[in-house]
Amino acid sequence: MTISPPGKRYPVARPEDLSRDSTVRHAHALLRSLMREELDDAESEHLLVEDALRRTLASGRNSVRGALNQLALEGRVVRQPRSGTRINDRVMSLQVGGVTTPVEDEMKVRRLGEGVFSASDVVRRRLNLDCDRVGYVEHLYIVNKEPIGVRIAYYDEEFTPTASIESRRGKRMPADRIRVAMPFDVAFEIVFGCALGRVTSTLELGLADAATAKLLNVEAGAPVLTREVLAEDVFGIPRELSYTYYRADRVSFTTTEGPLVD
């Protein structure tokens, strides 16, 4: 942080002092922030009225229109002549350092596959395993009947995630059935028999291959947010390595840092 010397003042940039590119970027960033908030339908309609946005964002008409056009290119909004601009779908916000947790009953999951196959050196090393095969399970995440992410997880083949959860629930879960997603920490304890400990996440931007794009209902080469998660138990033993590919136009990530305040 830069602190001005006593008695010395620095000029404050005003919107009219910024370049056009900067003002559009400024309006675009603020508008995306607003769209991440919980908005009911009435608020959403009001949010995308250009005159209201000019006041809310303290930006000029050209900057607001430039920001809306950029959001339309990103698939976040739909702009139609004489019909105005509406939010395409609410963007789901997930924690950077956490794992996928359902928001009330919003997030659904469908199992795509489960089994065992030859263990790669990468998986063996990350999970600290000395074996030739590992178990895997693949899920599709769905919000508002639209796919937003596909996840594949690897683990020691002695564990059986689906069977363990079915046993706890007391009923079978057909592979093609869509159900409410279970909080990760709850599922982790059921499957591995101990509480979730440290979780290490890595987030990167990538492009969807043809198979992933088909599952996510996007074009091949569309941007996806790839999150690698290494989940350990409370004893520090790595139990699961997963990779989730999220639609970049439907998911954002948030992190909160700093000391806790009582």
Write out pLDDT tens, residues 6-51: 444 434 344 454 455 578 888 888 888 887 765 555 555 556 788 8
Q: Is residue 63 part of a domain?
A: yes
CATH number, residue 63:
1.10.10.10
Q: Using an 8 Å Cβ cutoff, are 226 and 244 in contact?
A: yes
| 187 in the same domain as 239 | yes
| 162 in the same domain as 108 | yes
| 202 in the same domain as 96 | yes
Q: Is residue 259 part of a domain?
A: no
Give the other-Cβ count within 10 Å of 97's Cβ: 14
Mean pLDDT of the chain: 80
Over the stretch 207-239, which tens digit does the pLDDT of each residue have? 999 999 999 999 999 999 999 999 999 999 999
Range of the domain at 158: 92-254
| 176 in the same domain as 136 | yes
Distance, C-alpha 212 to centroid of its chain = 16
Which is nearest to 253 in space by CA: 134, 124, 111, 98? Answer: 98
List beta partners, residue 196. 233
| 213 in the same domain as 151 | yes
| 124 in the same domain as 234 | yes
3-state secondary structure at position 104? coil
- Check residues 227 and 95 and name the one with the higher pLDDT: 227
**Total domains, the chain:** 2
Per-residue pLDDT at 135: 92
| 217 in the same domain as 149 | yes
Domain's final residue, options 39, 71, 87: 87
Per-residue pLDDT at 3: 38
**DSSP, residue by residue, 116-170:** EEEPPHHHHHHHT---SEEEEEEEEEEETTEEEEEEEEEEETT--HHHHHHHHHT
| 83 in the same domain as 184 | no
Which residue reads 């700093």 in tokens?
258
Q: Using an 8 Å Cβ cutoff, are 191 and 159 in contact?
A: yes
| 79 in the same domain as 175 | no
| 196 in the same domain as 121 | yes
Q: Is residue 99 part of a domain?
A: yes
Q: Is residue 260 part of a domain?
A: no
| 65 in the same domain as 118 | no
Domain's final residue, options 39, 56, 87: 87
Per-residue pLDDT at 168: 63
The mean pLDDT of 74-103, rounded to a whole number, is 72
Q: Is residue 201 part of a domain?
A: yes
The DSSP letter of residue 95 is E
Give the other-Cβ count within 10 Å of 207's Cβ: 14
| 153 in the same domain as 30 | no
Which tokens in the block code for residue 131?
């074996």
Per-residue pLDDT at 202: 92
Domain's final residue, options 87, 110, 136: 87
Please state, in angstroms and rounded to a whole number, the distance separating the CA atoms of residues 257 and 187.
26
Which tokens in the block code for residue 8?
């010395």
Which residue reads 């009225």 in tokens?
49
Which is nearest to 252 in space by CA: 26, 27, 31, 33? Answer: 33
CATH number, residue 193:
3.40.1410.10
